[in-house]
Amino acid sequence: MIEFLKNICLSDEGATAVEYGLIVALIALAALAAISGVANETTGMWNDVATQVVDSSS
């Protein structure tokens, strides 16, 4: 692993590696934002279900 990182640092194609790294980082941020949005919607849905169950049992 260290040898691999060393080769990347010494390579003339380091700029390409940086670009790929930035692309991966942007994809990861977009995925986290999407997952966060879905999580908020899902939490809200289950809270509504819980409220309806409590109300119907009263």
Segment 12-44, tens digit of pLDDT: 666 777 888 899 999 999 999 999 989 988 998
CB of 46 closer than 8 Å to CB of 38: no
Residue 20: per-residue pLDDT: 86
**8 CB burial (10 A radius; 0-12, 13-18, 19+):** middle
* pLDDT value of residue 11: 67
